[in-house]
Amino acid sequence: MRILHTMLRTADLARSIKFYTEVLGMRLLRQKEYPDGKFTLAFLGYGDESDNTVIELTYNWGVSEYDLGNAYGHIAIEVDDVYDAAARIKDQGGKILREAGPMNAGTTLIAFVEDPDGYPIELIGKR
């Protein structure tokens, strides 16, 4: 068994694809519209779906916002340099939720950023 993908609902598919590809460096792997269901799916990641876990963005046509609730946590992405990654994201207009630095009660370097729909993303430095 393995995790295939994590699905996130998005209010603006083009905006989210731009964030995940241009700001976080993922590739758009595939995208398909489902007119009968009135939704579009886009799959993004750092490598092919056959070998990597990816993000599935779901755009439900006509929905412009979602209530994220309080149960969802975050997505975590490993980066070579947390300080550099957070600075690059900030320079590209990304929102920083927590500046780069050691985690609370630990030494692992982390930062938190936010995607265009408000989902938190943790950046974790390579160990």
Please list the active-site residues.
122
**Residue-level length of the chain:** 127
- Using an 8 Å Cβ cutoff, are 117 and 10 in contact? yes
- E strand or H helix at 84, and its extent? helix 82-91
∠ CA 114-110-4, nearest 5°, is 65
Q: How far apart, in whole angstroms, are the C-alpha atoms of residue 56 and residue 105?
A: 33
DSSP 21-81: IIIT--EEEEEEEETTTTEEEEEEESS-TTTS-EEEEEEETT-------SS---EEEEES-
